[in-house]
Amino acid sequence: MLDGEAPAAIGLNAYILISLLLFVIGFIGVLLRKNTLVIYMCLELMLLASTLALVAFSRFNGTLDGSVFVFFILTIAAAEVAVGLAIIVALFRKRHTVQVEELSALKN
Amino acid sequence: MANLLFYIFAFLTVVCAALVVVNKNPVNGAMFLLLSLVGMAGLFVMLDAALLAFVLLLVYAGAVVALFLFIIMLLDTRPESLKPFKKLSILASTVGGALLLLGVYSLSHRVMLSSAAPVGPAPTLKNYAEQLFTTYLLPVQVVGFMLLIAMLGVIVLSKKFAPVEDAK
């Protein structure tokens, strides 16, 4: 890239900003939604936000370690989704609801 | 050109993520999650991680979102109840959201992270494989076992066990 164009290029800042915004959106979703499945999707969004930050840092550090770590995160996330959804299905079988405010058997 | 692409992908990612949160219907939410993933994959490509973008689309769009849709199909999707939140949770979410937004603000106004991209090892499939099978060999094995354990766990969780009779 030419030197004259360099300031206009997208830097690390922009990627981290996008990642933070995604994290905030996922966080708000986890707090506000009451359907367990949607909460789970928002958790995935938060995980993806951290993944984006890792890839951006790895790219701007000039190493591959962060990207390799993202491989592991994706693998673990896939396993986590499978187990979590199985738990939700088992919960639904027992309680016939997935709304969090009705799942208060452990309260008190 | 690259800037324009970045803005398009960033817009797609963030807006679709927001739509996941605000959508009443979980099926629409899953679809917007898919679109958000496409935008994220575009961002990965712009970060020279085309392989990771590929893996992201395969694993998330191919497996995770499909799994979500299956589960939404299996469970009933009544509209959410509109019970008001408790005062404590309103307070906690306000404080938490404010803290995170403060982080966004300080990042965009104060911090100057370097925007120069140093030249590192090219993120080719060969380099990834070399890292995975030399430096990170043990984690790869551990992750493989994790997947096996998760698979067994899901089988156990989703199987309906008959009540155990008296063994006589």
Q: Is the pLDDT of residue A78 over 50?
A: yes
Encoding tokens for residue A24?
A: 């905030």
Instruction: Please give the share of chain B, as a percent, with pLDDT higher than 90.
Output: 36
- Mean pLDDT over B151-155 rounds to 92
Residue type, A91: L
| Whether B107 and A29 lie within 8 Å, measured CB to CB | no
Q: Tokens 């208060």 appear where? A: A104
Q: Report d(CA B143, CA B145) in Å as an integer.
A: 5
Rg (C-alpha) for chain A, rounded Å, is 19
pLDDT tens digit string along A50-64? Answer: 999 999 988 888 888
pLDDT higher than 50, residue B19: yes
**Considering the entire predicted model, what is its pTM?**
0.84
Q: How many angstroms from the chain centroid is the CA of residue A12? A: 19
pLDDT tens, B105-140?
787 777 666 666 666 677 778 888 888 899 899 999
**Residue B26 carries which side chain, given as an amino acid letter?**
P
Interface ipTM: 0.86
Q: Helix or strand or coil: residue A99? A: strand
3-state class percentages of chain B: helix first, strand second, coil last, to nearest 5: 70, 0, 30
Say if the Cβ atoms of B26 and A37 lie within 8 Å: yes
Provide the 8-state DSSP code for B24: S
Nearest Cα to B158, choosing from A78, A89, A92, A80? A89
Which pLDDT score, from 0 to 100, does residue A63 have? Answer: 83
> Do the Cβ atoms of A23 and B100 come closer than 8 Å?
yes
Tell me the β-bridge partners of A99. Answer: A35
* Nearest CB to B67; choose among A35, A61, A81: A81
Among candidates B77, B103, B131 on the partner chain, residue whose Cβ is nearest the Cβ of A64: B131
